[in-house]
Chains A and B, each alone.
Chain A
Amino acid sequence: MAVYKRSYRPYTGRLTPAWSRFFVLTRYAMRGMFKSKFLTAVFVLSFFSPLICALLIYLNHNPAILTMLHARHNEVVSVDGQFFLGFLGVQGGIAFFLTAFIGPNTIAPDLANGALPLYFCRPFSRAEYVLGKLCSLFYLLSFITWIPALVLFGIEANLSGAGWMWEHRSLAIGSLLSSWIYILMISFSAMALSAWVKWRIAAGALMLAAMFLLSGFGAAINAVLRSNIGFYISPGALITRVSSQLFGLDSPINVSAGSAWVALLVMCGICLALLAKKVRAFEVVR
């Protein structure tokens, strides 16, 4: 089908492996995300906090500067579970804000423009479609959450020595796992809302509202019933409980860590069920 010949010919070249094709969707989705200057600006600003933390860790290990500040080692900053929990709290907030901004744009345009049949008439399944879109959010949010956390862990390990790294390995594992469950949770929520609410602004607002309303509603249930059952519908409280357990800290959320994990996984499952209902080539009207 050469341009100058303008005639049709079949394709006889090599094909890419079937398992790798969801990356195509991820690649194009990420390219689309970074067309937004606002997103790019917020993404760049999200590295401000890691830079400050890295600077504090450096100061903490620099005797000359500590002397100047009349401070001792670990007085500037103490790199422990609380440090990483606080760091991920700040980064998690930025990640949530970004997800509320870009998440509604993941599936809604494809639904609005009837593009889903074009994806699924190819050797490309619904699961691969969801995976491709999820990966685009996962990559983006990873650069805001667990990757800088591991970089900070690496800097501290480099300055404190291998002994510190081995002794505090749970901080790295905690950063990784708590970020992953958080990213999965907010990504699935954003995608589910994107699939059900086609108006982008409404979907973004609904995501913010869902997070805060559910937390408020959970707190109200706890107050009225004098129980802890309200925590189970509050994603923020559940994430805090799970992260506290992973960092070995006490948590104000009085539910068991195991049940918090289960509740988060159930929430992810509900989002997946909502996605499965909407992400199809054609809706069947029974």
Chain B
Amino acid sequence: MTPVIELEGLGVRFGKREILKGLTCSLSGRTIGLLGPNGAGKSTLINTLLGFYHPSAGTARIFGHDIRTQTKQIRSVVGYMPENDAFIANMTAVSFIRFMGELSGLPAEAALERAHESLFYVGLGESRYRKVGTYSLGMKQLAKLAQAIVHGPKLIILDEPTNGLDPPARQRMIRMIKEMRQVHDVHIVLCSHLLRDVEEICEEVLILKDGRIVHYSNLEEERSANRRFVEMEPVGDSAAFTQALEAMGCECALSANRLKAVLSNGMEIRDIYRLAAERNVQLRRLNYRRDTLEDIFLKAMETNTNGSL
């Protein structure tokens, strides 16, 4: 399968400032998160992938198209929702989205039809005949999403899509992005500094710091791996219970009234309850312990790498 995004020693320089430093990685997940503190180079990476900035070193490919030589092909399969305000003020939303659709190559009738559909989809159906300039910040975000999807792109790049949204609007935006990723052949790149958004939506996460890649994480794999760590609070004969778990092949650590265990292959939670019942041990608490994205992010911020995976 062709990777969605491949970076090969990608470097970007503005004058003497080196913004991106030899990024190398391959991403092929359905939803890819770009994380990093302010000034890490997330937006620069997106802008470079879209051909807005020229790479000073290396190259990158989107669906196999080189960003140095095949910008038009890349742009025809990409939908982009920019971070900042971006709209045409004196147009109604439906004209604006239709216009964007036509610029993407849709015939006028199809663009109009899809403009209506996109606006209904993002929840602006009732206000589609209002001028975009009169929209609230949240509505402008939705209009930006509508213009990004009107031409049905294969890759949707969302730069801080939940910026400025109130909690219900944020939830709605996240739900829409989740819905979109279910559609066959659509990939999403989400650039955000909000860990919760990325954690909720993304399968893969690339963490940038000072223009370098400091961590790559496949959240799906990590989530399934994390399910194997269990933290319990047994009451009763804890020692016997621990021995029984170890006999089943678990690695255990008992401290005060807390028991941490790494479950062996094939062992399930109901086996733990069975062993506890057999030994008359009460389990007051049982948690799957997993690294949150915040843990991963904070660890990544402490590390220094050379920019490649």
Partner-B contacts on A (CB < 8 A): 1-3, 6-16, 18, 21, 24-25, 28, 32, 35, 109-110, 112-115, 117-125, 280-282, 284-286
Would you call B152 and A115 a contact (CB within 8 A)?
Answer: no
Would you call A284 and B86 a contact (CB within 8 A)?
Answer: no
**Which of A11, A114, A124, A284 is close to B82, meaning CB atoms less than 8 Å apart?**
A114
Question: B76-95 toward A: CB 8 Å interface, digit per residue (1/0)?
Answer: 10111010111111100001
Please indicate which of the listed interface residues A110, A115, A285 has the most CB atoms of chain B within 10 Å of its own CB. Answer: A115
Would you call A113 and B87 a contact (CB within 8 A)?
Answer: yes
**Which of A1, A12, A25, A284 is close to B121, meaning CB atoms less than 8 Å apart?**
A1
Can you give 14 A-B contacts (C-beta < 8 A)?
A3-B116, A9-B183, A110-B88, A113-B88, A114-B84, A117-B80, A117-B82, A118-B82, A121-B52, A122-B76, A122-B103, A124-B75, A281-B50, A286-B14
Number of A-B contacts (CB under 8 A): 131
The interface residues of chain B lying within 8 Å CB-to-CB of A13 are 106-107, 110
Sort A-B residue pairs by CB-CB distance and give the 10 closest, nearest first: A11-B152, A286-B15, A10-B152, A15-B105, A121-B80, A1-B117, A281-B52, A114-B86, A123-B76, A24-B102
Would you call A8 and B99 a contact (CB within 8 A)?
Answer: no
> Once the chains are docked, how many angstroms separate the CA of A286 from the CA of B18?
10
Partner-A contacts on B (CB < 8 A): 14-17, 47, 50-53, 72-73, 75-76, 78-80, 82, 84-90, 95, 99-100, 102-107, 110, 114, 116-118, 120-121, 125, 133, 147, 149, 151-154, 176, 179-180, 183, 185-186
> Once the chains are docked, how many angstroms separate the CA of A3 from the CA of B106?
18
Would you call A121 and B105 a contact (CB within 8 A)?
Answer: no
**Which of B84, B106, B118 is close to A15, meaning CB atoms less than 8 Å apart?**
B106
The interface residues of chain B lying within 8 Å CB-to-CB of A118 are 80, 82, 86-87, 100, 147
Would you call B120 and A3 a contact (CB within 8 A)?
Answer: yes
Residue of B nearest to A25 (CB): B103
Residue of B nearest to A20 (CB): B105
The interface residues of chain A lying within 8 Å CB-to-CB of B14 are 284-286
Please indicate which of the listed interface residues A15, A16, A118, A122 has the most CB atoms of chain B within 10 Å of its own CB. Answer: A122
Please indicate which of the listed interface residues A114, A121, A282 has the most CB atoms of chain B within 10 Å of its own CB. Answer: A121
A187 to chain B, nearest CB (A): 21
**Which of A3, A12, A109, A123 is close to B75, meaning CB atoms less than 8 Å apart?**
A123
The interface residues of chain A lying within 8 Å CB-to-CB of B133 are 113
The interface residues of chain B lying within 8 Å CB-to-CB of A285 are 14
Would you call A123 and B72 a contact (CB within 8 A)?
Answer: yes
Would you call B110 and A10 a contact (CB within 8 A)?
Answer: no
> Once the chains are docked, how many angstroms separate the CA of A16 from the CA of B180?
25
The interface residues of chain B lying within 8 Å CB-to-CB of A3 are 116-117, 120, 125
The interface residues of chain B lying within 8 Å CB-to-CB of A25 are 103
The interface residues of chain A lying within 8 Å CB-to-CB of B183 are 7-10
Would you call A282 and B52 a contact (CB within 8 A)?
Answer: yes
A125 to chain B, nearest CB (A): 8
Would you call A109 and B88 a contact (CB within 8 A)?
Answer: yes
Would you call A21 and B105 a contact (CB within 8 A)?
Answer: yes
The interface residues of chain B lying within 8 Å CB-to-CB of A115 are 86-88
Would you call B17 and A10 a contact (CB within 8 A)?
Answer: no
Would you call A113 and B89 a contact (CB within 8 A)?
Answer: yes
Would you call A2 and B117 a contact (CB within 8 A)?
Answer: yes
The interface residues of chain B lying within 8 Å CB-to-CB of A1 are 114, 117-118, 121, 149, 152
Would you call B149 and A109 a contact (CB within 8 A)?
Answer: no
The interface residues of chain B lying within 8 Å CB-to-CB of A286 are 14-17
B179 to chain A, nearest CB (A): 6
The interface residues of chain B lying within 8 Å CB-to-CB of A125 are 72
> Once the chains are docked, how many angstroms separate the CA of A25 from the CA of B91?
13
Would you call B179 and A7 a contact (CB within 8 A)?
Answer: yes
> Once the chains are docked, how many angstroms separate the CA of A130 from the CA of B121?
33
**Which of B50, B73, B110, B186 is close to A121, meaning CB atoms less than 8 Å apart?**
B50
> Once the chains are docked, how many angstroms separate the CA of A14 from the CA of B109?
11
The interface residues of chain A lying within 8 Å CB-to-CB of B85 are 113-114
> Once the chains are docked, how many angstroms separate the CA of A1 from the CA of B112?
12
Would you call B86 and A9 a contact (CB within 8 A)?
Answer: no
B176 to chain A, nearest CB (A): 8
Would you call A16 and B106 a contact (CB within 8 A)?
Answer: yes
Q: Report if A284-B53 is in contact (Cβ < 8 Å); known contacts: A24-B103, A123-B75.
A: yes
Known contacts A109-B90, A121-B52, A281-B52; 20 additional CB pairs below 8 A are A1-B118, A1-B121, A7-B183, A14-B107, A15-B106, A15-B107, A16-B105, A24-B102, A109-B88, A109-B89, A112-B89, A113-B88, A113-B89, A113-B133, A114-B87, A120-B75, A122-B103, A123-B105, A286-B14, A286-B15
B187 to chain A, nearest CB (A): 11
The interface residues of chain A lying within 8 Å CB-to-CB of B76 are 122-123
Would you call B147 and A6 a contact (CB within 8 A)?
Answer: no
A15 to chain B, nearest CB (A): 4
Residue of A nearest to B157 (CB): A121
**Which of B104, B176, B179 is close to A123, meaning CB atoms less than 8 Å apart?**
B104
Residue of B nearest to A105 (CB): B90
> Once the chains are docked, how many angstroms separate the CA of A11 from the CA of B15?
40
A280 to chain B, nearest CB (A): 7
Residue of A nearest to B185 (CB): A10
Residue of B nearest to A284 (CB): B14
Please indicate which of the listed interface residues B80, B116, B117, B147 has the most CB atoms of chain A within 10 Å of its own CB. Answer: B117
Residue of A nearest to B86 (CB): A114
The interface residues of chain B lying within 8 Å CB-to-CB of A11 are 106, 110, 114, 151-152
**Which of B52, B102, B117, B118 is close to A117, meaning CB atoms less than 8 Å apart?**
B52
